C-alpha cells in the first residue's frame, strides 16, 4: 500500500512538471535602461503567464551613456554604428519556448543595438520561434523598429509589433 502511494505521488509530481512546462511556453525577453520597458514586460508576462527574462548589458548604461543630445555618448556611438553589438551579461535559455516577446525602448527610431546582440547570440534557435516585438518610447511608433528587425533578420518570424504606453 505504501509503495502504491509512493508511486502515485511520483506520477502526480511528473504530471505536474509536464503540465507546468506546457503552460510556460512563452518567454518575455526585454531590455530596459530606465525601467519603462521593464514595467511593460512585467505586464505582458502576467497577462500571458509567461516567463520573464531581462536582457542585461555587461556594462550598465549610466545617465550620461543615455544622453542622445551628446554625439559622443555611449548610446549615440552605438546607434550610429549599425555593427555595434554591446555585450550581454548572461545568455538566455530560449529552448523551451515557442513564442518570445522581445521588448525594448525605442532608440533613434529603432531597437537598441543590445537587441541585435541578443538576437545574434540566439539566431539559430530563434529560427523556430514566433517573435512578438514590443516597445516603449517617448513618442515614436514601433513600425520603424519592426521593419528594421524584419529587414535585418529576414529568416525570423516576426509578428506585428506592440507599442506599450
Ligand atoms: C538613447 C535614447 C534614444 C531614444 N530615442 C527615442 C526615439 O527615437 N523616439 C522616441 O520616441 N523615444 C526615444 N527615446 C525615449 C525612450 O524610448 C523612452 O523613454 C523609453 O520608454 C525608455 O524605456 P526604458 O525606461 O525601458 O529604457 C530614446 C531614449 C534614449 C535613452
Look up the domain containing 146 and give its range.
25-163
Q: What is the pLDDT along the chain (165 residues), one digit of tens a residue?
A: 677 776 777 677 666 655 555 555 999 999 999 999 999 999 999 999 999 999 999 999 999 999 999 999 999 999 999 999 999 999 999 999 999 999 999 999 999 999 999 999 999 999 999 999 999 999 999 999 999 999 999 999 999 999 998
Question: Is 151 inside a domain boundary?
Answer: yes
Question: Is 59 inside a domain boundary?
Answer: yes
Which residues surround ligand 1 with Cβ inside 6 Å?
32-38, 66, 68, 75, 105-109, 136-140
Question: Is 29 inside a domain boundary?
Answer: yes
Name the domain count of the chain.
1
How many Å apart are CA 106 and CA 102, to the nearest integer?
12
Question: Is 17 inside a domain boundary?
Answer: no
Instruction: Give Cβ neighbours of residue 106 (< 8 Å, ≥ 6 apart).
Output: 135, 136, 137, 138, 140, 142, 144, 145
Supply the residue whose CA is at minimum distance from atom 9 of ligand 1: 140
* The three grid cell numbers given for residue 163, joined into one nine-digit string: 507599442
Instruction: Give Cβ neighbours of residue 37 (< 8 Å, ≥ 6 apart).
Output: 30, 31, 103, 104, 105, 135, 136, 164
Cα 107 to Cα 7, 45, 156: the distances in Å are 55, 23, 22
Q: What is the DSSP pairing of strand 99-105 with strand 162-163?
A: unpaired
How many Å apart are CA 31 and CA 90, to the nearest integer?
13
Residue 10: per-residue pLDDT? 66
Residue 18: per-residue pLDDT? 55
* CATH code, domain carrying 76: 3.40.50.360
pTM passes above 0.85: yes
Question: Is 39 inside a domain boundary?
Answer: yes
Question: Is 87 inside a domain boundary?
Answer: yes
Question: Is 109 inside a domain boundary?
Answer: yes
Residue 2: per-residue pLDDT? 72
Question: Is 123 inside a domain boundary?
Answer: yes
Residue 146: per-residue pLDDT? 98
Residue 140: per-residue pLDDT? 98
Amino acid at each position: 500500500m505504501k509503495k502504491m502511494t509512493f508511486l502515485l505521488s511520483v506520477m502526480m509530481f511528473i504530471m505536474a512538471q509536464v503540465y507546468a512546462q506546457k503552460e510556460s511556453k512563452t518567454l518575455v525577453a526585454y531590455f530596459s535602461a530606465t525601467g519603462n520597458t521593464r514595467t511593460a514586460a512585467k505586464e505582458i508576462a502576467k497577462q500571458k503567464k509567461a516567463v520573464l527574462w531581462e536582457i542585461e548589458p555587461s556594462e550598465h548604461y549610466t545617465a550620461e551613456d543615455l544622453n542622445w543630445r551628446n554625439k559622443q555618448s555611449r548610446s549615440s556611438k552605438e546607434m550610429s554604428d549599425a555593427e555595434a553589438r554591446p555585450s550581454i551579461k548572461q545568455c538566455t535559455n530560449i529552448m523551451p519556448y515557442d513564442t518570445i516577446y522581445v521588448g525594448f525602448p525605442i532608440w533613434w527610431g529603432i531597437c537598441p543595438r543590445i537587441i541585435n546582440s541578443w538576437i545574434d547570440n540566439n539566431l539559430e534557435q530563434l529560427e523556430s520561434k514566433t517573435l512578438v516585438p514590443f516597445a516603449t518610447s517617448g513618442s515614436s511608433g514601433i513600425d520603424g523598429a519592426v521593419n528594421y528587425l524584419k529587414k535585418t533578420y529576414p529568416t525570423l518570424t516576426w509578428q506585428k509589433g506592440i507599442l506599450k504606453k
